[in-house]
Structure 1
Amino acid sequence: MKRLSLFAISSLLCFNSYAQTISIKNKSALKREGELVRIDWNELLKRNPKIDTSNLQVVNQATFAQVPFQLEKVGSNEVKFLLLQVSVQPKSTLKVILQDEKSTPLNAKTYGRYVPERKDDFAWENDKIAFRMYGKALEGSNENAYGIDVWVKRTSELVINKRYKVDNYHKDHGDGLDYYSVGQTLGAGDMAPYLADSVWYLGNYKSYKILDNGPLRTTFQLNYDEASANNQRIEVQKLVSIDAGSQMNRIENSYKFKEAGLLPVAVGLATRNEKDKQILQDDKGVIGYWEPVHGEDGITGVGAVLISPIKVVKKHNQLLAVTEVKANEPVVYYNGAAWNKAGEITDSQQWFDYLKNFKQKLQQPLVVKVN
């Protein structure tokens, strides 16, 4: 990694054509490790109109090391946000400097794509974990499943393209596998209407749009046909983001329906008919499941974090977090998974602590100030 001398930093601040500092404050008692922060690009341009996206470098003011960044476009042709991947100690502030220097190329840590060769799957991943959702080509077949699938991995490398090329990705070839069973459930944290004490599945996605594809954040949109749920016509659009270094996705769902009032919805975790269930349920917005060991395949933990209070329901071999949404008003929540054989989160306590700490971080976000 390229480093700058103290003299070079001093010279930079004095003579660089658009050098400026950004302060990132951690008010929480938790260490924020490899977390992404987002800065409005127009705010940066207002202060420094000469910023050149082809000649941009971000460095840590204290260590002079380069800070990984991404120019986020959110489906546009123009840059909308600057994403920085930072680590900030508890109760402390990190300062970074923007400068007109070439940055070291960054290897992609997130990725997603449509998979027409596997019946319209949409698969996505980061350097920790991978997921997929099912498309229309699978709907109605005996292979069909409803919710979010997990592909466990024990490598920081991106594996989706590689796995779709092997004969059997249900076997661990050294970097993980797909052994998680979704079936007729919400799987690893999908959301669906919850009416008359039942989950109403709205079918598989019909179309997609990729808004950003790495290196630090991948964001895509899934669109669904209007479907019937307890005699209501409901349509949903799902916006999914995954960040480098995180076990979690951010999911933003928008529901369209004509009935007055609020629509009950549930985020679900498949518990199947398994014994020795280890469950986390917090009515303030956190649910988690640490499954029993699946032989040589190991153990997968799944979980979800919601912003609003929830009602927890155990039904149809699922752990459900029930809340309510308004028509055409996005609801945001987070879902994710971890695999014990990846060697980072190896038991239920560590996984449940991760989920609770994730909730705390949402409540105490890093504070960014452009100086």
Structure 2
Amino acid sequence: MKNYITVMLGCLLVFLSFPILANVQNTSAKISVHNKLDFARKEIVAVSGKLLSDLIKGNQTKDLRIKKEGNSEFIVLQWIDYNQDGIQDELLFEAEVPAKAKVSYEIVFDETTALPESTITTYSRFVPERTDDYAWENDKVAFRTYGPDAQKRTEEKRPEGTLSSGIDLWLKRTDKSIINKWYAENVKKGGYYHIDHGEGYDPYHVGASRGTGGTGIWENNNLAVSKNFVSYKTIAVGPLRTVFELSYAPYSPYEVKETKRISLDLGSNFSKFEITMDANKALPNITTGITLHDNKGEVKINKKEGWFRHAETIDGNLLGEGIVLNPKVVKEAFANVSTEKDQSNLLVIGKPKNNQLTYYAGFAWQKSGQIDNEADWDTLLQKQAKMLANPLKITIKRNK
């Protein structure tokens, strides 16, 4: 009798534990990612939190895992709460899809296996140790722009000042994060990041220009631009996407208040700029641009496909800068050459809808190994334009 009870208890324990173990292994849903283009794509894709809400019911969000179909290893994930209301708005993961193909991923819930961590990441932060920059990066590129203290220093003719709403480029040739290291070393010895110590450097001059992706309002052959940002909000830092917002004081005859939401995905050469301008009346345009520096570089305008670029040589190496946006929102684009310092820019005049404009701005540096010549840079811009026009199609099918 004792042995019978022991066997029955053992069977009961197995029976009770089986559904829990099965839940770990069974697929809850399948995500299909479809690439319609004729080249392979490796991109960060986003799944709406609302689409996943029913699936998550009865489970913990933190236990959600994704793996490629037929693969036992989970992949890196990132949740983003864009409005900071405590509800996750999007789930991000990196999809790799061959040309004109479809790849499937499986969603499971597993509380026992830790999420994998990425050795490379996106990152952004406010930088008070260098007055008040805001800097952001991923494994390919890095950027920065300038805050109110840097503006005040310039206006008061004090050191370390910068008066600009242009976007600066940091040329990196490592997939590791460099922002914290370069700023820390610069505190020890001023000018550190202007010298290449093996990871890249900052030889790029912005001044009052647009840098790569700065904004303004073009009217009467004049570009009205804001001063430095007055406030910032960090929304996400990585590993797959960094997101933040910058706000600017009113400027131009329209007294426009501008907000930039900027995001950068892992593996991309382009920051996404979502511009909102709050004005009392409709704006004639929202303009973005690229500095032409000393007007010795090459400009190429492809209004039909929606990409615009500048290629120049800095310290003997090619630097390609570019802007990509929906061609339907482009009014015109031209190289505005000026004799005034830092006022020569390639300008892209956008037709704002509800005083909003979205575009991508970025670069590639020859010494990073990402491009060898201008044709390589044009190819990257063409692909970015095609990807913007043909986003990866995501479908979710829940298992019955």
Asked whether 1:247 is paired with 2:274, we answer no
- Report SS of the residue matched to 2:193: coil
Cα distance per residue 1:321-344 (max 9 Å; x no partner): 1122245x4211110111111112
2:106 is aligned to 97
2:250 is aligned to 226
The Cα shift of 1:313 comes to 1.8
Greater gyration radius: 2
- Report SS of the residue matched to 2:364: strand
Q: Is the 8 A contact 1:123 1:130 kept in 2?
A: yes
Seen in structure 2, the aligned counterparts of structure 1 residues 13 and 28 have a Cα distance that, compared at 3 Å, is: farther
Cα distance per residue 1:200-250 (max 9 Å; x no partner): 1111100000111111000000011112x2x32111111000000000011
Q: Match for 2:303 among 258, 271, 283?
A: 283
The Cα shift of 1:14 comes to 8.1
TM-score, with structure 1 as normaliser = 0.90
Q: Is the 8 A contact 1:202 1:224 kept in 2?
A: yes
Q: Match for 1:131 among 143, 147, 152?
A: 143
> Counterpart of 1:283 in structure 2: which amino acid?
K
The Cα shift of 1:346 comes to 2.2
Q: Is the 8 A contact 2:299 2:335 kept in 1?
A: no
- Report SS of the residue matched to 2:367: helix
Which protein is richer in helix relative to its size? Answer: 2
Aligned 1:17-36 pairs, distance under 5 A: 19-33=28-42, 35-36=43-44
The Cα shift of 1:126 comes to 0.5
Q: Is the 8 A contact 2:120 2:175 kept in 1?
A: no
Q: Is the 8 A contact 2:203 2:314 kept in 1?
A: no
Seen in structure 2, the aligned counterparts of structure 1 residues 258 and 354 have a Cα distance that, compared at 3 Å, is: same
2:231 is aligned to 207
Question: Partners of 2:116 and 2:78 in 1: how far apart?
Answer: 12
- Equivalenced residue count is 353
Most deviating of 350-359 and 73-82: 73-82
Question: Partners of 1:17 and 1:90 in 2: how far apart?
Answer: 30
Aligned 1:205-354 pairs, distance under 5 A: 205-227=229-251, 229=252, 231-259=253-281, 261-275=282-296, 277-284=297-304, 285-295=306-316, 298-307=317-326, 308-315=329-336, 316=338, 317-327=344-354, 329-354=355-380
Question: Partners of 1:15 and 1:130 in 2: how far apart?
Answer: 39
> Counterpart of 2:117 in structure 1: which amino acid?
P
Asked whether 1:186 is paired with 2:210, we answer yes
TM-score, with structure 2 as normaliser = 0.84
Question: Partners of 2:358 and 2:228 in 1: how far apart?
Answer: 20
1:174 is aligned to 198
The Cα shift of 1:18 comes to 6.0
Q: Match for 2:67 among 53, 59, 71?
A: 59
- Report SS of the residue matched to 1:109: coil
Seen in structure 2, the aligned counterparts of structure 1 residues 13 and 187 have a Cα distance that, compared at 3 Å, is: farther
Most deviating of 187-196 and 123-132: 187-196
The Cα shift of 1:71 comes to 1.1
Q: Is the 8 A contact 2:139 2:177 kept in 1?
A: yes
Runs of 4 or more, structure 1, over 3 Å off, are 11-18, 62-65
Q: Is the 8 A contact 1:301 1:348 kept in 2?
A: yes
Question: Partners of 2:22 and 2:312 in 1: how far apart?
Answer: 53
Asked whether 1:153 is paired with 2:165, we answer no
Asked whether 1:109 is paired with 2:121, we answer yes
1:6 is aligned to none
Aligned 1:52-91 pairs, distance under 5 A: 52-76=60-84, 77-91=86-100
2:158 is aligned to none
The Cα shift of 1:350 comes to 0.7
- Report SS of the residue matched to 1:232: coil
> Counterpart of 1:190 in structure 2: which amino acid?
G
Once superposed, what is the RMSD of the aligned Cα atoms? Answer: 2.0
> Counterpart of 1:81 in structure 2: which amino acid?
E
The Cα shift of 1:54 comes to 2.8
Q: Is the 8 A contact 2:141 2:171 kept in 1?
A: yes
Question: Partners of 2:393 and 2:266 in 1: how far apart?
Answer: 19
Q: Match for 1:163 among 171, 178, 182?
A: 182
Q: Is the 8 A contact 1:18 1:50 kept in 2?
A: no
Question: Partners of 1:90 and 1:325 in 2: how far apart?
Answer: 33
For structure 1, which runs of at least 5 residues remain unmatched after alignment?
Answer: 1-10
Question: Partners of 2:353 and 2:56 in 1: how far apart?
Answer: 40
For structure 2, which runs of at least 5 residues remain unmatched after alignment?
Answer: 1-19, 155-160, 339-343
The Cα shift of 1:292 comes to 2.1
Cα distance per residue 1:143-171 (max 9 Å; x no partner): 43330000010111011000001121100
Seen in structure 2, the aligned counterparts of structure 1 residues 39 and 137 have a Cα distance that, compared at 3 Å, is: same
